[in-house]
Amino acid sequence: MTTGLARRLALAGYLGLIAWVGLWHGLISPHPELGPGFMLMLWLPWLFIPMAGMLRGNPYTHAWAIFLIMPYFLHALTLLWVDEGERWLALVELLLASTMFVGNIYYAKFRGRELGLSIRKKKNQN
Tens of pLDDT, residue by residue over 44-71, are: 777 778 999 999 999 999 999 999 899 8
CA atoms within 13 A on the CB side of 90: 16
Helices 3-23 and 36-48, interaxial angle, to 10°? Answer: 160
Contact 5, 104 (CB under 8 A): no
Q: How far is CA 26 from CA 1, 11, 84, in A?
A: 35, 22, 19
Rounded-to-integer distance, Cα 86 and Cα 88, Å? 6
What pLDDT, in 10s, does the model give residues 1-57?
A: 899 999 999 999 999 998 998 888 778 887 777 777 777 777 777 777 899 999 999
Sequence ranges of the domains in the chain: 3-114
- DSSP one-letter string for 103-119: HHHHHHHHHHHHTT---
